[in-house]
Amino acid sequence: MNATTIEGELAVRIEREGRRIRKVTVRSTRPVFAGPLVRGRTPAAAAAMMRALFTVCGQAQGAATAAAIDAAEGRAPSADACAAREIAVRLEVIQEYLWRLLIDWPRAMGDAPLTAAVASARQRIARLPAHPASEGAAARAELAAALAEIANRHVYGMAPAAWLALSAGEVPGAWARAGRTLPATLLARLVERAPRLGASDVGLMPPATRDSLRADIVPELDRNHGFARTPSWTGAPVETGALARMRAHPTVAACAAGTGHSVATRMVARLVELAVLLDDWHRAPAASPSSGGTAGRSGTCRRRPPCPPRGP
């Protein structure tokens, strides 16, 4: 059995009339194999397997599995457990975002990627000791400063906090046109040449609160065994990712008002979310990334941004 058969395919068929898209059909042959693989295993073994099984977003998958097991057993996770999960997921998001911004995005637009900068970030993250949240504060502080400096030099051309302080219109405007970094140059090119590239009127996923998941997702999982293959929100497709999470940020909202939910707006949302993650952690690296890492009254950890999907 070859790798293609094992992994399955996601086939997207587009039908158009002239320059307008008339219909889009999506067919997935990706196998849903996680359930059978973990059936009969201990909770700890199941959580560990999820991290190893998924090459994309493995830490997020492992954290979600551990949280689900906690909920199923009626157990409130410890502060250290919450903090360790959040640190792992945050670092995974930062690493993935740097990859998208400095490797995938440049390649998609015909520019040379900054692989050395991403490799440096990945190596530093890999060296972080796997201590409980109550230990290793110095190592986390050093890593937070190093990642912020990589972003300063290669992504923003200034400290993430200073970039976040720019006015809403400066990011797709003066900052991008100044071209001090590769992402700035690429954003300026997008805004100038194809401001509405990839614009979509598909709705954005609302915040996934505990109550909304119970009301809108859990019943669908019970009713429809194929829901995981083609998930929806209250029966309709929605866009997930940085744009959905950062839509209320003034810079993202201003860009969306000008270019719609386009590739440019999505990249701005990704830039904003990365800056928020880096600045938040750089200011309080000794604590958990969610400013304390404690379990809430519901027995769940504070929600962090999920691992971003592949692609621009």
- Per-residue pLDDT tens for 234-279? 889 999 999 999 999 999 999 999 999 999 999 999 999 999 999 9
Q: Is residue 20 part of a domain?
A: no
User: CA–CA separation, 154 vs 27, rounded Å?
Assistant: 38
* 100 within some domain: yes
Which carries the bigger pLDDT value, residue 205 or residue 311?
205
Q: What domain range includes position 265? A: 76-218+238-283
Q: How many domains does the chain have?
A: 1
Residue 65 domain flag: no
Q: Is the pLDDT of residue 298 over 90?
A: no
What is the per-residue pLDDT across 8-61, written as a single tens digit (0 to 9) for each? 777 889 998 887 888 888 887 777 777 777 888 888 888 788 877 777 788 888
Nearest to 276 by CA among 304, 309, 312, 310: 304
**What pLDDT does residue 15 have?**
92
Tens digit of each residue's pLDDT (9 = 90 or more) over 141-162: 899 999 999 999 999 999 999 9
Asked if residue 55 is part of any domain, the answer here is: no
Per-residue pLDDT at 91 exceeds 80: yes
pLDDT tens digits, one per residue of 158-181:
999 999 999 999 999 999 999 999
pTM above 0.75, yes or no: yes
The reported pLDDT for the residue numbered 134 is 58
Give the whole-angstrom CA distance, residue 195 versus residue 312. 15
Domain membership flag for residue 242: yes
pLDDT at 285: 58
* 269 touches 252 (CB < 8 A): yes
Per the model's pLDDT, the better-predicted residue between 301 and 302 turns out to be 301
In a domain, residue 66? The reply is no
Query: Does residue 185 lie in a domain region?
Result: yes
Q: Is residue 162 part of a domain?
A: yes
Confidence at residue 129, expressed as pLDDT on a 0 to 100 scale: 74
